[in-house]
Amino acid sequence: MGGCLASAPFALYPPVHMSIPTVPYQPLDVPESGRLEVAAVVLDEMNSRRSVRDFSDRPVPRELLETAILCASTAPSGAHMQPWTFVLVGDPELKRQIRIAAEAEELENYDGGRLPPHWREDLAPLGTDWHKPYLETVPWIVVVFEQRFGIRPDGTKQHHYYVKESVGIACGMFIDALHRMGLSTLTHTPSPMAFLRTLLGRPDSERPFILFPIGYAAPDCQVPALERKDLNDVMIEVVAVDLETTAEVENYPDSSN
Ligand code: IYR
């Protein structure tokens, strides 16, 4: 993944087959005495983010979206290929078409029996269903596409590496950037998402990854009163592993969606 050479003074795409000059790295200058305080503020800010399904139709300046996309595009990526395309949609007719196509897929998921029972049961407490009105309410939709490979200007293929990891990290950073700007979004994956490639005219080398409806949360927006896992439920510190006593992990069949 991208390391300290990421800030080359020229575009790396298409890659130049020569070594990249280095520049001094300047980490953020956080005073040692204030570091814990900064950490607590970062946690507070991130912990206040929620996935939103109830949006205001209040306009959002396009420049905010462009800046959030630039923030996302600072993500580390395999061989610094930045294998992502952020497709911005503000046109009401296109938003309507996305809603119609997404709802058709979701109707099949929820009411047509395509979601397996365990999935429907896990979603029931969240109260989601096939209706996706927010896809028309929001001023903007951003659909992030993963580039399975790149196309060089001469038409030849450019390999991309760790595409899902790279695009996943960029999406996480995008979500955080929007949140810090006071905007809200939802990580929406209207499965299957192939219709987005057709509707948005993206090439065969790209696959839809996540759809983000983006806007201001409605003034009366309610979100499920979810708790987040405690530190001890998400972190263990490993000092040394005793292979003799390490419990065998059962082999569960892979359960992908
Ligand atoms: N894509 C569907 C279903 C859905 C799936 C998961 I996993 C969620 O966390 C929420 C919804 C939908 O958007 O309704």
Question: Which pTM does this prediction carry?
Answer: 0.90
Alpha helix ranges (H) inside 89-162: 92-110, 117-123, 134-137
pLDDT band at 3 (very low <50, low <70, confident <90, very high): very low
Task: Please give the CATH number for the structural domain made up of 52-221.
Answer: 3.40.109.10
113 within 8 A of 122, measured Cβ to Cβ = no
Atom of ligand 1 nearest to the CA of 191: 1
Hey, what are 2's tokens?
């991208």
Upper half-sphere CA count for residue 171 (Cβ side, 13 Å): 26
User: Going by CA atoms, what residue is nearest to atom 6 of ligand 1?
Assistant: 123
Mutate which of 189, 195, 210, 212 for ligand 1? The one with the most ligand atoms within 8 Å of its CB, which is 189
What local confidence, expressed as pLDDT, does residue 32 receive? Answer: 96
Given the CA of residue 190, which atom of ligand 1 is nearest to it? 1
- Please work out whether the CB of residue 187 comes within 6 Å of at least one atom of ligand 1: no
| 211-162-85-70 Cα dihedral, nearest 10 degrees | 100
How many A from CA of 52 to the centre of ligand 1?
13
Query: Using the 8-state DSSP alphabet, how is residue 178 labeled?
Result: H
For 207, the token pair is 């696959």
Distance of CA 121 to the CA centre of its chain: 25
Write down the domain spans for the chain: 52-221
Residue minimizing CA distance to atom 8 of ligand 1: 123
d(CA 114, CA 131): 16
234, containing H or E segment: helix 231-234
Tens digits of residue pLDDT in 31-49: 999 999 999 999 999 999 9
Q: Return the exposure string of 9-43: e unless at least 16 CB atoms fall within 10 Å of the residue's CB, then b.
A: eeeeeeeeeeeeeeeeeeeeeeeeeeeeeeeeeee
Q: From the CB of 190, is ligand 1 less than 6 Å away?
A: yes
Task: Determine the distance separating the centroid of ligand 1 and the alpha carbon of 53, expressed in angstroms.
Answer: 11
What angle do the packed helices 163-180 and 35-47 form, to 10 degrees? 90
Distance CA 193, CA 87 (A): 14
Summarize pLDDT for 92-148 with one digit per residue, the tens: 999 999 999 999 999 999 999 999 999 999 999 999 999 999 999 999 999 999 999
The two tokens of residue 174 are 């995008």
**Residue 172 Cα, ligand 1 centroid: separation in angstroms?**
17
Residue 222 Cβ contacting ligand 1 at under 6 Å: no
Ligand 1 pocket check for 67: Cβ under 6 Å: no
